[in-house]
Amino acid sequence: MKKNWYRRMLLSYFPIFLFTVTILIFLSFIMVNEISHKETVKADRISTGYITDTLTRSLRVIESSVLEEVEKNAHYREFLNVERTQENREAIFNVVDSMRSLIANDSLLDSMYVYRIEDKQVLTRIGLVAYEDFADRSFLDQALQNASYQGWSSIRNYHELSMESDKRVITMYKREPLPFGTEGLVVINVNMYAVERLIQSMKSDSVTFLHIKDKDGKLLFSTVPNQDNSGKVLNQVTLDLMGWTFESGIVAGQLFLWVSVISYVWVIIGLLTVVFAIFYIIYITRKNYKPIRVMMNRIESIQLQNDGFSIKMDELSLIDRTLENLIQQTEDYEKEQNENLLIGRKQLFFELIQGENVSQINERLNKLKLLPEDRDVLQFAFIVVEIGHYGQFRSGFSVRDQNTLKFALSNVLQELARDEEMQAWAEWIGESRMGIIVGISGGEREAKEHIRQFAEKGSLWVTENLRMSLTFGIGPLIQGLEKITASYKPAVEAMHHKMSLGKDAVIMSENLPGQKARKSYKHLQLAADLVREFRLSTGEWRIHFEQIFEALEADCLKDEDIRMLLLTMMDMLGSELGNVSEDLREHFAGEKAEQWKQTMEETATLEQLRSLFLEHLTEIYRLYVAYCETKNHKAMINEMKAYIEENFVDPDLSLKHLSDRFHISGKYASYLFKEEFNMKFVDFIVQLRMEHAEGLLAETEDSVQSIALQVGYANSITFGRVFKRVVGVTPGDYRKLKLKPGKARHTGHL
């Protein structure tokens, strides 16, 4: 077979490789060009800024040194006084000597002179000259007309003697005496040629150029002879002291040459990289092809034995076909093995809990990889786990999500069991129930406690993380896995007592009731008593209601027996009250009654069932009493009295509260109260509160503030005032006198 795959592998690298290298070289050139340009601009800006700073500093040094000398040297002031100068001619020589010294100390300072206004005499470094004979009198005239000007002049021509040639200078002047005198002027001339030489010394003509222009844009100086061929201006810096603009850049051809050299270097590096990469690709391709060739030889030999190369394929197609067949065979085998393993485990699980085919249990467990790592485990227990509110779980998730959550739930519980040092084997034994066989070592009491802790942790973890509720029914410990059915049946039986025993979501089979709890006649008698009191509307039915649920909790009946008993009670009540009115009939028959029964079936705990029945019976009682109100108000007032006696400590208890509670008007409630008890509602509730307060003061050590809150008052001040009016003494005196409840009561009302 030809090496098609080798050539294909080799040639497939080149297009992308060449394209990538080309892009890299191009980007490198652009980056170098951009970086070079930025760095050039930056370097030129720094260089030009240095020149302007140096020139500014030099001019300021000249100005400060001259003015400092003029201010400190008293001979300058003597020269301005004509009389003193005539008396002391040495002052003139001293001034001349000072000016010569200043000019000699600074290469930029060309000349300076002092003009005396009084006799119009000019003192230069050569000597005293009359104003009419002074060559620079035109500038002096301008200076005298604008004596307050503080800056430097533009470039001008200057010479001191008539035989001297003109020199280009910039000039500044100051009035004498400093700073604002009117006796003369000090004029300072800076040689422009020296300034240009200074600038030229700081600029390389072969690489960069510099143009200096005045305020009007006129060229004053350039470092290159031909301004048009100087190149592109990169930076502009303004010299504030003179108003000059410094334009700088790279001399034409220099930047291009520099970038070109850099680019050539990169191109050479790129070419060398390409050559190296080509040889490397050839080398690595040949190296990588060797194991493929070995693999192809083996595939070809197998295929030759099978079909004799009936189909011509290249390496890629042949490898793909072979791998596909191999993967498919492997997946089919693994799938079959997993299915057989799962089916075998599930079948063995059900046979164990049913007590069937357990003769060779260890061999089957070993084959299914279910034997615990700790072979010393001798105790086993069966746990039934049930998902609470399964109807909501089924309606809230799709079938796929339900299966996923169930799978996660079984794995989580097995992992938690291992954390408790137990071996666990979990299988789903029903739509909403999972069975777990746990193996544990140690004493019986310790083992039971470990299993309970595991169930509590599992319930808590699932509630917090999966937002689901679980109930655990735990069977007794047994010796030997083949006897697990003896733990399975009690665990299932425990799940029938979820309402009465499942307060903490964990039911131990050892807590199941005996045969004594199976006598249901006493529960029916309690239900009959409740119906009788309900029918008589005495309000005592609540006592029988509480007795029923106390008996249900104490006797630990099955969930179905509890629901059946309560439904029987509702049927008995319906036969008594169903024909009284249409509103009452709806609570015992019809759509409304069916919805309530459905809600009752979905109730998980006995406490929830108690709250549901109490609310439902209270509503029926309210309707029944309201119906009987027109015939007999005694039942209504007795119900109100019972409610007040039960809730008199509520600070919000009022006629408005009663009217809302019993669905009657406040005036009618007040009327019923006055009619039955011959006293106002307020007096009745105050009497109840004070009697209760007397008992608390006499029998407890609670503070007055605490007792006030317990009997329905917001603060001790109001409580103390009412207590004194009703009882006759303050609460504190009542406790100090150790009076007995009722002894100090007077008959006054609020």
What is the token pair recorded at 622?
A: 């309210």
Residue 3 has pLDDT above 60, yes or no: no
- Shared domain for 384 and 462, answered yes or no, is yes
Q: Tens digit of pLDDT for each residue in 221-238?
A: 787 766 655 667 878 888
Residue 196 has pLDDT above 80, yes or no: yes
Residue 2 within any structural domain of the chain: no
Please give the pLDDT value at position 629. 57
Q: 468 — phi, psi (to 5°)?
A: -130, 155
Burial pattern 443-454, b for ≥16 Cβ within 10 A else e, equals eeeebbebbeeb
Nearest one of 460, 454, 468, 342 to 405, comparing CA atoms: 468
Residue 83 in any domain: the answer is yes
Q: Which residues, 6+ apart, have CB-to-CB distance to 590 below 8 Å?
A: none
Quick check: is 130 in a domain? yes
Q: Which of 512, 534, 550 is the last residue before a domain boundary?
A: 512
* Domain boundary residue, one of 371, 403, 419: 371
> Is 636 within the bounds of a domain?
no
- Asked if residue 444 and residue 366 are part of one domain, the reply reads no
| Residue 435 and residue 500 share a domain | yes
pLDDT band at 47 (very low <50, low <70, confident <90, very high): confident
Is residue 497 included in any domain, yes or no? Answer: yes
Do 189 and 104 have their domain in common? yes
Q: Is residue 593 pLDDT above 50, yes or no? A: yes
Domain membership flag for residue 333: yes
Name which of 130-139, 266-275, 539-548, 695-704 the model is least confident about.
266-275
> What is residue 228's predicted lDDT score, i.e. its pLDDT?
59
Residue 411 and residue 320 share a domain: no
Q: Are residues 345 and 404 in the same domain?
A: no
Residues 142, 132 within the same domain: yes
* CATH code where residue 110 lies: 3.30.450.20
Confidence check: pLDDT of 307 > 70: no
Task: For residue 682, name the pLDDT band (cuts at 50, 70, 90).
Answer: confident
Q: What is the pLDDT of residues 385-442, one digit of tens each?
A: 888 877 777 887 888 888 888 888 888 888 888 887 788 888 888 888 888 888 888 7
Structure tokens given for 520: 């249901």
Question: So what's the pLDDT on residue 315?
Answer: 63
Each residue of 373-385: pLDDT tens digit?
A: 555 556 888 888 8
Q: Are residues 338 and 455 in the same domain?
A: no
Last residue of a domain, one of 136, 166, 199: 199
Instruction: Please report where in the chains the tokens 């200076």 appear, as a residue.
Output: 143
Q: Which of 208-212, 243-247, 344-348 has the lowest mean pLDDT?
A: 344-348
Q: How far apart are CA 558 and CA 560, in angstroms?
A: 5
Q: Is residue 655 part of a domain?
A: no
pTM for this predicted structure:
0.40
- For residues 379 and 503, state if they share a domain: yes
Mean of pLDDT values over 225-253: 75
Q: What's the rounded mean pLDDT across residues 7-15?
A: 66
DSSP class of 388: T
Q: What is the pLDDT of residues 713-744, one digit of tens each?
A: 888 888 889 898 888 898 888 888 866 665 44
Same domain, 360 and 475: no
Look at residue 12 in the predicted model and tell me its pLDDT: 64
- Nearest partner of 585 among 595, 575, 600, judged by Cα: 575
Q: Are residues 381 and 360 in the same domain?
A: no
When divided into structural domains, the chain yields a total of: 3
What pLDDT, on a 0 to 100 scale, did the predictor assign at position 377?
58
In a domain, 141, yes or no: yes
pLDDT beyond 60 at 746 = no
Q: Which residues contact 610 (CB under 8 A, 6 or more apart)?
A: 549
Inter-axis angle of helices 90-105 and 4-72, nearest 10: 170
Instruction: Decide if pLDDT at 360 tops 70.
Output: no
Higher pLDDT, 521 or 116: 116
The mean predicted confidence, pLDDT, of the chain is: 78
Q: Are residues 377 and 490 in the same domain?
A: yes
Q: Where residue 419 sits, what CATH number does that domain have?
A: 3.30.70.270
User: What's the burial of 401, exposed, middle or buried (CB within 10 Å: 0-12/13-18/19+)?
Assistant: exposed
Quick one: which H or E segment has residue 122? Answer: strand 121-123
Residue 421: what residue type? E
Domain that holds residue 125: 73-199
